[in-house]
Amino acid sequence: MDTDSAPWWESPAIGFDTETTGVSVELDRIVTIALVHLGDGIPRPERYLINPGVEIPAEATAIHGITTEAAKADGVEPGAAIDATAETLASAMRQGRPVVGMNLSFDISMLHCECVRHGIPTLSARLDGDLRPMVDVRILDQAVDKYRSGSRKLGALCALYGVKHHGAHDSAFDAFAAAQVAVAIAEQYPQVGRLPLDELHDAQVRWAQEQRVGLQEHFDRKRRATEERRIVPLGWPLYDGVAAAAVSS
């Protein structure tokens, strides 16, 4: 394949997804990682089941199916898996292969914090701070169809764009499904599909900021005086402030 002339969505890429112990990128831990190599024939997945070293809450197990006991029995220690993941992603991006996923800023920020926790060079450090190129279908979908009502979770996007999704909250299936959704959006919306990858990446930085500022304003309007303020994290593909945040051991 001639990757110089092919549009970004027909060129090699790598799908990325994680499942975790919770939703705090600073405090929670990664439980599974999937890297799906795309564009070189049959999709080739790499999977890691990790022993996070902490209890996996029942609420998290209910989502991804991994128990503390299973992670302890069959999971690898985090350091090597985190290091290998960061280097695989960095290598792909050095070659101009986009990292594709759903709500990537969560997974990228989680990976960053795990690197800091285990004393491993972060993805940002490996790329001299230039975390690109990336393609986030959550950002793309809202950019092309801003006012559509209903869910924007991955399963809903798969249904909308005609993508088969065989295993919700299985990181490998999620990574592959997100990559297929990216292709479907690019084919359906030429204003996205025709953009050079660098321009698309920069556009997503702007779109993410606009979308999250709008979501914060929405939450603030709906919040009752007695309710705690819900904070929408800014920054894409790495949350603002994560690099300087303290990470619990």
**What pLDDT, on the 0 to 100 scale, is given for residue 1?**
39
Question: pLDDT tens, 60-75?
Answer: 999 999 999 999 999 9
Q: What is the pLDDT of residues 113-146, one digit of tens each?
A: 999 999 999 999 999 999 999 999 999 999 999 9
Alpha carbons 66 and 174: distance in angstroms, whole number: 16
User: How confident is the model over 154-182, as a mean pLDDT?
Assistant: 89
pLDDT for the residue 40: 80
Contact 135, 13 (CB under 8 A): yes
How far CA 89 is from CA of 53, 85, 213, in Å, comes to: 24, 6, 28
4 pLDDT exceeds 90?
A: no
Quick one: what percent of the chain has pLDDT higher than 90?
Answer: 88
One of 3.30.200.20, 3.90.420.10, 3.30.420.10, 3.10.20.30 is the CATH number of 8-134+145-213, namely 3.30.420.10
pLDDT of residue 184: 98
Segments in the chain forming alpha helices (H): 58-64, 68-74, 78-94, 104-117, 123-126, 137-144, 154-161, 171-188, 190-193, 197-222
Residue 96 clears pLDDT 90, i.e. is over it: yes
pLDDT for the residue 2:
44
CA 74 – CA 96 distance, rounded (Å)? 34
Q: What pLDDT digit, counting tens, does each position of 189-247 carry?
A: 999 999 999 999 999 999 999 999 999 999 999 999 999 999 999 999 999 988 666 56
3-state secondary structure of 23: coil
Whole-structure pTM value: 0.93
Mean pLDDT of 148-170: 88
Task: Please report the pLDDT score of residue 20 as a whole number.
Answer: 97
Average pLDDT, the chain: 93
